[in-house]
Structure 1
Amino acid sequence: MKRKSVIKYSVLFVLFFAGIAIGLLLWNRIELPFQNPWGVKGKLTEIQYNPSNDVVRFAVFLLSPLLLLFIAYLLGRRKLNDIIFAESSSPAGGSLHNFRPPLKALLSILLIVFSIIVALNIPTFHASGKFDSFHEGETLGPAVSYMAGQTPYKDFIFLHGLYENPLRSVIAFRLFGKSIGSVRTLESIIKILTFVLLSIFMLQLYRGRHLYSFTAVTILALLHSSSMFHLLPLVFIKARDITVFLFLITIVILQDIGKAQAFSVKKIFVAGFLFSFIPLASFSYSVDRGVFLFAAYLILFPVLYFLYFYKVNLRRYFLFSSFLGLLSAVFLVGFLLWGGLTDFFKYVFLTMPRYKGLMSGKVYPVFDKLFFSVSVIIAANTFWVAFKFMQELHLNNGRLRFSVRSFMEKYLVEFSMLIVSLFLFRSALGRSDWPHVAYSIPVTYILSIYIVIKHYSHKFLRGYVFTKTYTYLLAAVVAVIFSSGIYQIYRGDLIKENFPLGVKDSEIIPDNYKATISFLRNNLAPDESFFTMTAEASWYYFIDRPSPSRFPVIIFAIPYFYQNEVVKGLEKNNVKFVLYRNSHWASRFDGFSNEERLPVIAKYIRNYFTFYRKIDDNEIWIRKTEHPLIPDTR
């Protein structure tokens, strides 16, 4: 038996890494034609690199091991296939510990509290520490336009999503008052709710086996806290992942419904409704999460309907509730967009994808150790799921229909998490720096941990003594993380850091911006506008005036036709002052000055505005037709 296991895993090991080697050999040989009809300037346009190259390269990288596995299956002799694709012993179905219900409830609460402590110790992404006038401006600036009654995507355009950009600030202002601290507080609340949902997902995923749930959350916490050891954070769970965890929870519930002998109409209705509602409704939160979850949904819905749910009544309820979920999501998105649904569709699906990669994309550095390691983990997850399907195909004597159904019955959750994780990683292939990779891979890690724990931990956690020893060790690690987290919350005043409701804007806004803000407020008449070329939409919040163009973050107007549109807006909306440049990195996004990226707008400003004064490091220009104020040559 051991000999067969050695042969099996040796063959799989060789096939996998041979496929990885093939993927790496082909990586730089895959080149798609480069096109830049809209005159976008960015890192990729400088080297005439098609942003889709990395997507195709990564697909080949993932598929190469799978292709070798399939060839091995087709060419392998029956005896060899019986060894390679033999079904492994299944893990025990029961819980490791037969806890009584009160203790189970207590452990579940402890896991949730543990997750909250971890969340409080993790800086809220772009909403903590030093003020980030670019990233925090992405919500503050559009919020001013939204509160001025402008229609999203029709009157003003933003990149990430309706909630992530304008509504996050609008809701925070209405709940807690108008301040930067309010926005940071709301984002921290969503972050904590995301971690609570993560812990609930772990409890659902491991069927209430608290040892496994604590193990998974602890590993994620350690990966998240790697910066404490002077390393890059190996994963970053953002607030926007709240929709991802909600979606995955519904999949686990649907799996349980499909396996049950009898089903509750109410349960299938609610689960089916949420399963279809969440992906489409996610567009109102975050565009990329909406796109990726909806893409996953389009694959998983037919899988569930045709291949997983057998009972006619179950299918009927699932179909009806799913239709209602989709319809409700459309109404929600349409309502929040204030009638700008058509403009939303045109920008998000037809325009933005054609220039975003050229504007902000970076080449995926697969040969970098860290990026390569992540790529191998994703490939390993994909290979494992594909292997399990091939195993079912072998056990069912090549009968595809029976094999697919059998595979889905056993591995629906693993398959679903793989699909979701692959779509989420698409974001990292667009802007390939480590932060984007780190917050694109939480589901990848969760899947890897789940595969190891569910399918292989029973081989190691054998015997009462070993299990008890592991339990004590895990409890010690959890206790250390928990106690150190509590200490850091007290020592670092993390409650105030996460929820800075009492903090005035003057305590957050950089000192070198305050004089400029005061100048603009004092010298703009009610009918006059202000425009910033620095891509910091925060300035519109500082002076409480909407952007005179559709682009509060001006860098997103990089296609030439949008630049022409901005020029018309500057002419139409009586712009008196322009913040032309300053020392903030957003003025040189990815190393290119905004004058280089936005030549049409820069030319217009140079023709119709003139340098007026420099306040700290903020260069103010004034319209030439204005009566000159007393110049300041500082």
Structure 2
Amino acid sequence: MSEQKQQAKVNLTAIFVITLATWLILVPWVNSIKIPFGNNQTGVISLASIENISPYTDYLKYIILLLTPPLIATLVLNLKQKPITAILEVINHRYTWIGVSSILLLTWLINTPFNQFRINSTLKDSFHEGEFLGFLPNFLQLPKPFINTILIHGYGVDVLPSWLATNLATQDNGIALTRLFVNLENVITCLGYFWILWELINLANIHKNRLKIFLISCILFCVFDGIFYKFDGRRGTSFIIQLALTLRFFRIAETRTNQAQWLSVLIGASIPSSFFYIYDRAIYFIAVYLCASILSLFLPKKTTILWFRGSLVGIILVSILSLILLGFDQINAIISQVLYWGKYGRYISFIPLPPLELTWTSQNFWLSMFVQSAVLVYLLLDFKNHEFKFRSFIQNNYLIILLLTAASVYMRITLDRSDIGHAYHGALITAFLAFYLIYIGYKNKIESQLSQFNITPIEQILMLLILTIIILTEPSFNLVKGMEKFTQLPDALSTSDQKLLKPDYLEAWKTLKPEIDQQSCFYTLTSEGLWYYLFNKPSCSKYGYVLYAKPTVAQQQVIQELNEIKPNIILLTNELWYQNPWDLILKSESASLIYQNVLTTYKPYKTIQSHWFWKRNNQPLKFTQTQTLNGNIESIPTQPIHQRDDLSLSGWSILPKQSKPADAVYLSLGENNQLIAVGQVNIPRPDVVQVLSNPKYEKSGWMIRVPTAILPPGNHQMKVWSYDTQNNQLTQIGKSFNLEIIL
């Protein structure tokens, strides 16, 4: 009997939690243990001696992991209550929670949103970073820039950071300063997330442990970032602040009338002003605003009046002010851009939703849909419980409906472009909906029963250990790294632009800058805004990014502007940007009209590393044929090709009279010799050198990617041409061939 009683006293939960907690704390440190091998007295050459690690290393790890948990358990379970109680009083003190949580959240802000674009790292993403660098010359040098510029996101995202950096830069450090302001926009957005959590906790009428619940929620939000959702940074700034303002309005509308009135004015003012920051999120909030307006009709009359009166005043005042400052023509241009993205945006960057599966990766796509669907089921059942009385149903569920609407609208990010990154962003508002539902559950099921729970000091310590373990699993809570980044910030901000550029970009910039300085503008088909920033030239077309000029009307606009301005030098391609990175569609397909126009009005000029610059061709191209051997096509397709198949032609080509490889190799379509593609040249061909006995032909190889997507079904006559820059002449290589395209 005594043995059974003794066994009954053993707390299995405590054993498991203490062992697990100790392991999770120890493992990161244990992994780093490495006992040096020392002098090789055994004479054995093995992995131990080569890696300089003693075989006793793993024994030490085993002993630590084996013995530490029972030592900790003995210490914890045998401590007297008074010391434990004293420790818990300090830990549970309001200021302790505020201090520790503030340090953790500040560290997360530094390590995650403030570190999205590392200030002193080499600029490798000339596309995304070019988005907030490349539009600056347009807004500094062009009259009425909104008319002459198609922004990708909006002024606040695409221009404001680089504009602030330019005005504050004291040396050639514009890129570093721009990254600073971009990261600050990220931080502001994340502070908005915390604000929303605070408003939701108060809207759930939580009173007991409200501060602790808020701080724990913020910490968990940081931990779950990158697991179930991902902060959308600067792109979500305006929407998140607008949503927080809206939630606060509904929280205080009946208790603090004056503040609520000003909030409604601010919310209304934010609607037109948000279009200056970012286009798509501004549209999202209009849907949320309309939903909130409808819901307010079912709330107390005072709330309804405050909402409509204040918000309409804000909308009208800011709209009038915008018209005065920018003029009708620029406001109309902004509206046109919004309509352009609304009409074509989802087609330009669409990536289909992958099959939904019960896997961890797949949950990023379907979990938020599942949560929204479950909430909708709950609302329908609750509507029935209210006996289909609309007013009482709305009054009890208007916040859930508002958050569900916001979450559904935000899902457009996932549905229009279903890669992992955008799926994470689309799930963000659903996370807030889930937090609110948890708060309601806590309020209704747990808060009233807290006084009945008798939590022992040991259990409190175990709960704190679990929270500590969760915190330790989040790398962004690493205080040491956060302090390092913060202390290195002044030096990072002084880094010059030249030190941040990749060597090939730096070389191309320095080589071409004297010539491009003579131009009034510049244009690149690579969709890298970085070039506009480096050359300090506005885009020669309002569509500075060819990637977003896929619609026929946009391509025609680019062609018209290039033909009118006639910039002398443009950039055609480089090693990455001959195709779109995410869907692998060739530029000769997605922007075929622009591409073909450039092939006929420009000619190859300089190749610096992989950057291929072309020069305006003031003379028409001459098409010739020759009986002299000038190359060969080695991979002519003999079978029908599907319209979306990848097809490459390859071979070699030379200019016999000049004893050198061809300057370029073109592909033409039809009897009229419509140029549709240009290939990669200077590919090593030692076999050609051997056969022709001429070492100058060493790099005579070429390869052309055929733009099959632009070819309609049927037979097409194709020709390959070698180009001679000196004579501005195309000479056919081999014979023409037929290419059959099928669906």
TM-score bracket, normalised by the shorter chain, equals 0.7 to 0.9
Alpha-carbon distance change, 505 to 332 in structure 1, aligned in 2, over 3 angstroms: farther
Alpha-carbon distance change, 602 to 384 in structure 1, aligned in 2, over 3 angstroms: closer
2:415 is the counterpart of 1:420: no
Give the secondary structure class of the aligned counterpart of 2:287. Answer: helix
Q: Check the 8 A contact 1:276/1:323 in 2, yes or no.
A: yes
Q: Deviations over 1:167-200 (max 9, x none)?
A: 2311232234561111100011122222223223
Alpha-carbon distance change, 390 to 564 in structure 1, aligned in 2, over 3 angstroms: closer
Q: How does 1:297-446 map to 2 (within 5 A)?
A: 297-304=289-296, 306-311=297-302, 314-331=303-320, 334=323, 339-349=329-339, 351-368=340-357, 369-370=359-360, 372-374=362-364, 376-408=366-398, 412=399, 414-446=400-432
Deviation for aligned residue 1:561? 2.3
State the match for 1:584 in structure 2: 576
Deviation for aligned residue 1:555? 1.7
Deviates more, 1:418-427 or 1:111-120: 111-120
Alpha-carbon distance change, 428 to 495 in structure 1, aligned in 2, over 3 angstroms: farther
Alpha-carbon distance change, 358 to 394 in structure 1, aligned in 2, over 3 angstroms: closer
Deviation for aligned residue 1:585? 4.3
Deviation for aligned residue 1:484? 4.6
Deviation for aligned residue 1:283? 1.8
Give the secondary structure class of the aligned counterpart of 2:605. Answer: strand
State the match for 2:225 in structure 1: 224
State the match for 2:546 in structure 1: 554
Give the secondary structure class of the aligned counterpart of 2:413. Answer: coil
State the match for 1:567 in structure 2: 559
Alpha-carbon distance change, 206 to 105 in structure 1, aligned in 2, over 3 angstroms: farther
Distance 1:370 1:567 in 2: 46
Q: Which amino acid aligns with 1:360?
A: S
Q: Check the 8 A contact 1:141/1:540 in 2, yes or no.
A: yes
Deviation for aligned residue 1:149? 3.1
Q: Check the 8 A contact 2:105/2:218 in 1, yes or no.
A: yes
Deviates more, 1:603-612 or 1:587-596: 587-596
State the match for 2:248 in structure 1: 253
Q: Deviations over 1:36-92 (max 9, x none)?
A: xxxxxxxxxxxxxxxxxxxxxxxxxxxxxxxxxxxxxxxxxxxxxxxxxxxxxxxxx
State the match for 1:35 in structure 2: none
* Match among 151, 157, 171 for residue 158 of structure 1: 151
State the match for 1:92 in structure 2: none
Structure having the higher Rg: 2
Distance 2:324 2:460 in 1: 54
Distance 1:257 1:460 in 2: 25
Alpha-carbon distance change, 446 to 548 in structure 1, aligned in 2, over 3 angstroms: same
State the match for 1:188 in structure 2: 183
Alpha-carbon distance change, 538 to 482 in structure 1, aligned in 2, over 3 angstroms: closer
User: What residue ranges of structure 2 are gaps of 5+ in the alignment?
Assistant: 1-88, 620-659, 664-681, 683-743
Give the secondary structure class of the aligned counterpart of 2:522. Answer: strand
Higher relative contact order (CA 8 A, sep 6+): 1
Deviation for aligned residue 1:514? 1.1
Distance 2:467 2:428 in 1: 23
Deviation for aligned residue 1:298? 1.0
2:589 is the counterpart of 1:600: no
Q: Whose helix fraction is larger, Structure 1's or Structure 2's?
A: 1
State the match for 2:266 in structure 1: 274
Alpha-carbon distance change, 387 to 484 in structure 1, aligned in 2, over 3 angstroms: closer
Identical-residue share of aligned pairs (%): 18
Q: Check the 8 A contact 2:293/2:307 in 1, yes or no.
A: no
Deviation for aligned residue 1:245? 2.8
State the match for 2:678 in structure 1: none
State the match for 1:617 in structure 2: 610
Alpha-carbon distance change, 483 to 244 in structure 1, aligned in 2, over 3 angstroms: closer
What TM-score does the superposition give when structure 1 sets the normalisation length?
0.73
Q: Whose strand fraction is larger, Structure 1's or Structure 2's?
A: 2
State the match for 2:214 in structure 1: 213
Distance 2:415 2:567 in 1: 39
Alpha-carbon distance change, 124 to 334 in structure 1, aligned in 2, over 3 angstroms: farther
Q: Which amino acid aligns with 2:168?
A: L
Distance 1:431 1:315 in 2: 37
* Match among 476, 488, 493 for residue 468 of structure 2: 476
Distance 1:310 1:597 in 2: 54
Q: How does 1:165-180 map to 2 (within 5 A)?
A: 165-176=158-169, 179-180=174-175
Distance 1:337 1:140 in 2: 22
Q: Which amino acid aligns with 1:455?
A: G
Q: Check the 8 A contact 1:283/1:290 in 2, yes or no.
A: yes
Deviation for aligned residue 1:458? 6.8
Q: Check the 8 A contact 2:151/2:337 in 1, yes or no.
A: no
User: What residue ranges of structure 1 are gaps of 5+ in the alignment?
Assistant: 1-98, 227-232
2:480 is the counterpart of 1:487: yes
Alpha-carbon distance change, 337 to 600 in structure 1, aligned in 2, over 3 angstroms: farther
The number of residues matched between the two structures is: 513
Deviation for aligned residue 1:108? 5.1
Alpha-carbon distance change, 241 to 401 in structure 1, aligned in 2, over 3 angstroms: same
Alpha-carbon distance change, 452 to 175 in structure 1, aligned in 2, over 3 angstroms: same
Deviation for aligned residue 1:138? 1.4
Distance 1:525 1:384 in 2: 60
Distance 1:138 1:499 in 2: 25
* Match among 131, 136, 142 for residue 135 of structure 2: 142
Q: Check the 8 A contact 1:361/1:431 in 2, yes or no.
A: yes
Distance 1:112 1:402 in 2: 40
Give the secondary structure class of the aligned counterpart of 1:447. Answer: helix
Q: Check the 8 A contact 2:110/2:482 in 1, yes or no.
A: yes
Distance 2:413 2:226 in 1: 22
Give the secondary structure class of the aligned counterpart of 2:416. Answer: coil
